[in-house]
Structure formats: C-alpha cells, structure tokens
C-alpha cells in the first residue's frame, strides 16, 4: 500500500513538474502595428524589420528570465481603420500584453481610445505631440516630439539671424501637429511666419505654393511632412530656382528621402535622431554604443543602414524588455514599469519616463543634419 502511495505521489509530482515547465515555457506575446505597405511603408518596413531582429536576438540569448518573446505583427497600411481592427485582434484574439506602434500619428490617435479602454500599454512609434499630451495612462511613445524638432530648427534660424519664414505642411495628422508647433513657438524665437500653406499627402506638384513663397518676404522655407511629398517639394524648389534655405522635418530622416529627392536634396537641413550620424559622434556620447550596435545589426540582417524610424521600434522593444526584466508580466505591471524607466540610452535619445511624462525625451534627443553629396553631415 505504501509503495502504491509513493508511486502515486511520484506520478503527481512528475505531472506537476511537466505542468510547471509547460507554464514557464509559455511565450510573452507582444503585438506590433506597423505600416509595412502603403505610402508610409518607409516608416513601417524598417520598424517591422527592427522589431523582428531585436526579438530574435533576445530569444537566441535565452529570452527574458527564460521566457521567449512572441512578436505578432499586423500591417496597418497606414490606414486608421485597419489599425483599429488590428489592435482589436491583438488584444481580444492574440491576448498580447503590450503593443508597439503604430507607425503614424493618425493611426496612433485612432488606436488610443481602444488601448485606454482595454488597459493595454501602447508604445507608439509616431511623433505627434498629441499622442502623449495630454497624458494618457496607457500610452507611451519613442519617436521624438515634433515640438522638440521645431525648437531645433528655430534655434538654428536665430543663430543664422533669419526671422521671416514660410511654412509648407502636409494636411494629415503629422503635418497638422507640426504646423501647430511651428506657429505656437514662433513668437518665442522672434520668428515671423510670412506664408502658411499646405499640400495634400498625395499631391505630386507644389509649384503653386512655392511660387507664392518665392514672392513673399520669407528668408527660409520649412517643410513639414513625410515621403514622398517633401521630396516633390525639394525637386519643385530646385526647378523654380528657389534660393531660400530649405528645412525639412524629422519625418524624412532616412536615406529614402535622399533617393526620392535626388540632387535636389543637396544642402537641405533637418532635425534627426543621432543614428544617422552615429559614427561622427564623440566617444563620450551616451547613445553611441547602442547606435552603432543597432546600425551594424541592421546592416548584417537586411544589407542596408538602420535608420531613425527603425530606431523607434528598437527603443520600444528594449523598453518592454527592461520592464519585463524588472518583474512585469501583465499589462498593468508592464505599464507601471515603463513609467519608471529612467536613463535608458536608446536610439531616439536618453529616455526618462515618469507619471507626468510618457514621451520621455528632452531637446538633446535631436541633432541637426545637412545633406551633402547624398549623405548626412552633422551640423555643429
């Protein structure tokens, strides 16, 4: 009888052990919403690639405390309706603990009410300041705020003694947010906006707007948008012989813009994260190690340079990794640990989240770069 009892106990322990092993082996599911195809694919494709690359590297190293990560990616195609549908699927069918993305401000703003309602942490890869201001409990972001980009451009104009500008912004969420910041900060820097014009995301000729700007008192032109519109503007400006200094937003800080604009990109200045000029940074730069590691990894995996946009996904995955390493294993505890992330030297900057700040970056997250000979030059 005793022998049977011991045998039963051993079998029970074995079953329990198998059950615990199976439980421990369950992957941590992370969702991702990226515009892998469509007009915003220059954002979403490198973000998707980077997220997959980083998750694979984490898993090859043993996962996080022995648990593997499972990345579930859906393509929003840059469409807000598709983004909401995919977010619903991630939350209700895939049962993810957190979501990375979307790629664009418009898609992100569409998804926010859902993640707030369902209480799932979202780390957006888009730049619009409205994503985290006013504060949303469950929403964070890794892309630098457009308010910081505007300040970087205006600081440069003040140093150049330029006080009158023309602004030309795309009529979507990213462009509208940039336009608001360009207008809101102008007085603080002593900048006067001579002309304020817009263009459509699918417009293929901006000669009319540029002709009006040429007839104004503007001393510089600031264009706010994402590809392909800004490249069209650069080419149109060159065709018109427009001699004004041309500034772009961080929305075009990848080699794709240079490819699209061709020779018309020469001399254009824009704010960007440090990744574009990683090798030019001093050894004392706190981000340099992460930046060079990311650039080399991306080159090895995809045979092209890692860029500003892929960096947003790198930061998002690594911030989640840090939160989980600190003991978070549910949406609620992940949110709490994300909010406690301090001093994280990522691709976009040095992140310091807090209960009052879910963007986490200061003005030093941006540098100014100039395009010279189809490459990036650090503006000092």
Per-residue pLDDT reduced to its tens digit, 291-302: 999 999 999 999
State the maximum Cα–Cα separation within the chain, in Å, rounded to a whole number: 102
How many other C-beta atoms are found inside a 10 Å radius of the C-beta of residue 158?
13
pLDDT(185) > 60: yes
339 vs 355: CA distance, rounded Å = 6
Q: What percent of the chain has pLDDT over 90?
A: 89
Per-residue pLDDT, averaged over 173-191, amounts to 96
Q: Give me the residue spans of the domains in the chain.
A: 24-144+287-362, 147-272
Please tell me the predicted confidence (pLDDT) of residue 24. 53
194 vs 260: CA distance, rounded Å = 28
pTM of this structure:
0.86
310-368 pLDDT, tens digit per residue, is 999 999 999 999 999 999 999 999 999 999 999 999 999 999 999 999 999 998 999 99
How many other C-beta atoms are found inside a 10 Å radius of the C-beta of residue 319?
25
Question: Do the domains spanning 24-144+287-362 and 147-272 agree at the CATH topology level?
Answer: yes
Mean pLDDT for the chain overall: 93
Q: Which CATH superfamily is domain 147-272 in?
A: Response regulator (3.40.50.2300)
| Sequence-distant (≥ 6) Cβ neighbours of residue 51 within 8 angstroms | 32, 34, 71, 73, 100, 313, 314, 316, 317
> Is the Cβ–Cβ distance between 43 and 103 less than 8 Å?
yes
Identify the sign of the CA torsion 286, 357, 313, 315: positive
220-234 pLDDT, tens digit per residue, is 999 999 999 999 999
Identify the sign of the CA torsion 369, 160, 150, 261: negative
In words, the CATH class of domain 24-144+287-362 is alpha beta
> Could you give the 3-state DSSP secondary structure of residue 168?
strand
| Sequence-distant (≥ 6) Cβ neighbours of residue 339 within 8 angstroms | 140, 353, 354, 355, 358
In the chain, the N- to C-terminal Cα span, in Å, equals 85
110-138 pLDDT, tens digit per residue, is 999 999 999 999 999 999 999 999 999 99
Question: Measuring CA to CA, which residue among 274, 272, 264 is closest to residue 242?
Answer: 264
4-53 pLDDT, tens digit per residue, is 444 444 444 444 444 444 445 699 999 999 999 998 999 999 999 999 99
Please tell me the predicted confidence (pLDDT) of residue 380. 84
Please tell me the predicted confidence (pLDDT) of residue 250. 94
Tokens of 230: 């800004």
Task: Looking at 187-252, list the stretches that DSSP marks H as alpha helix, in order from N- to C-terminal side.
Answer: 207-214, 229-240
Rounded to 5°, angle at Cα 79 from 225 and 49 = 80
Question: Measuring CA to CA, which residue among 336, 378, 348 is closest to residue 145?
Answer: 348
């Amino acid at each position: 009888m005793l022998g049977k009892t011991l045998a039963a106990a051993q079998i029970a322990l074995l079953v329990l052990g198998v059950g615990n092993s199976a439980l421990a082996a369950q992957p941590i599911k992370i969702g991702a919403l990226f515009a892998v195809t469509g007009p915003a694919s220059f954002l979403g494709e490198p973000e998707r690639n980077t997220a997959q690359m980083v998750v694979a590297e984490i898993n090859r190293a043993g996962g996080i405390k022995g648990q593997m990560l499972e990345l579930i990616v859906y393509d929003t195609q840059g469409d807000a309706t598709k983004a909401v549908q995919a977010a619903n699927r991630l939350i209700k069918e895939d049962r993810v603990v957190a979501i990375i993305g979307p790629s664009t401000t418009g898609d992100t703003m569409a998804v926010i009410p859902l993640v707030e309602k369902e209480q799932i942490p979202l780390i957006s890869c888009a730049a619009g300041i409205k994503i985290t201001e006013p504060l949303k409990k469950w929403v964070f972001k890794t892309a630098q705020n457009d308010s910081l980009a505007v300040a970087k451009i205006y600081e440069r104009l003040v140093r150049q003694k330029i006080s009158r500008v023309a602004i030309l912004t795309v009529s979507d969420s990213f462009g509208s947010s940039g336009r608001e910041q360009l207008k809101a900060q102008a007085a603080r820097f002593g900048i006067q906006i001579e002309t304020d014009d817009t263009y459509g995301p699918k417009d293929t000729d901006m000669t009319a707007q540029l002709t009006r700007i040429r007839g104004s008192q503007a001393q510089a032109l600031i264009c706010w948008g994402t590809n392909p519109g800004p490249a069209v503007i650069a080419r149109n400006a060159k065709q018109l012989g427009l001699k004004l200094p041309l500034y772009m937003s961080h929305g075009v800080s990848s080699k794709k813009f240079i490819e699209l604009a061709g020779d018309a990109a020469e001399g254009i200045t824009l704010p960007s994260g440090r990744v574009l000029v990683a090798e030019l940074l001093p050894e004392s730069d706190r981000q340099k190690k992460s930046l060079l590691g990311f650039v080399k990894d991306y080159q090895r995996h995809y045979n092209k340079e890692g860029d500003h946009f892929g960096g947003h996904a790198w930061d998002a995955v690594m911030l989640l990794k840090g939160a989980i390493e600190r003991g978070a294993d549910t949406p609620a505890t992940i949110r709490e640990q994300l909010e406690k992330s301090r001093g994280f030297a990522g691709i976009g900057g040095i992140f310091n989240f807090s209960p009052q700040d879910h963007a986490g970056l200061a003005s030093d997250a941006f540098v100014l770069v100039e395009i010279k000979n189809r490459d990036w030059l650090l503006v000092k």
